[in-house]
Amino acid sequence: MKFIGIIPARYASTRFPGKPLAQMDGKPMIQRVYEQVKEVLDAVWVATDDTRIEAAVKAFGGNVVMTSTEHRSGTDRCHEAYTLVGAGYDVIINIQGDEPFIQPAQIESLKSCFDNDSIDIATLVKPFQGNDSFEALSNVNSPKVVLNKNQEALYFSRSIIPYLRGKEQQEWIASHTYFKHIGLYAYRADALAAITRLPQSPLEIAESLEQLRWLENGFKIKVGITQQETIGIDTPEDMEKALQFLRNR
């Protein structure tokens, strides 16, 4: 089985314009993401709609493909990129361009979900730790996931799920295993094509989480569990925290 990693990257961002090109100790963030995953995949491509990002990727020797400016999501951009450069690959891994600390072992965990031939879509979660704050748990930019006994996703939410009735909120993390969604997805090629043809769904619109569209349409999402932390970067303030993490690790 052959795996291709695609990193969707666009320049426009309401909270952090030009985010993929933000410098992280001498390298643009998109380069750090690329270098974190390239050794554990058969191929890696950046998919962008901006010539500045295209030039930056070419400058560090990476693979880059230009895609439409009209895509609603990174998944749609991944699908177009796959149709352009993905011939011969069985599974597409959608790697978030704002996760510069994604670990090769996390990619391997995602790949292992496809040891089961029935799996069409997979993603990763990380358990919240007992010393995490309630503020971290309640962060709406950190979606939570509920799993069934087969380690498949039941639901994704920006809210805290499940609600623990009868317990003070500060006790919740210590009383239940909550799962934080890690923004990695993998799809077999036919599943990726199918989900990009689906119209937006009510739950997706409500939570602004595209994976809810897939669940609402009956797709199962296999979930791998990782213990490794990642730092997603949504704002310039997040970048400051990431730079501190980079310099201290």
d(CA 201, CA 174): 34
Average pLDDT over residues 9-29: 89
pTM: 0.91
Q: CA torsion angle for 5, 112, 137, 36 (degrees, to 10)?
A: -40
- Shortest CA distance to 29 belongs to which of 49, 46, 5? 46
Q: What is the DSSP letter of 46?
A: E
- The β-bridge relationship of strands 3-9 and 91-95 is parallel
Query: CA of 220: how far to CAs of 134, 149, 187, in Å?
Result: 29, 13, 11
Residue 62 CA, distance from chain mean position? 20
pLDDT digits (tens, 9 = 90+) for 105-155: 999 999 999 999 999 999 999 999 999 999 999 999 899 999 999 999 999
Q: Which two tokens stand for residue 207?
A: 């939570």
What pLDDT sits at residue 38? 96
Write down the pLDDT at residue 211.
97
- Copy the structure tokens of residue 50: 């901006």
How high is the mean pLDDT of the chain? 94
pLDDT per residue as tens digits for the range 176-224: 999 999 989 999 999 999 999 999 999 999 999 999 999 999 999 999 9
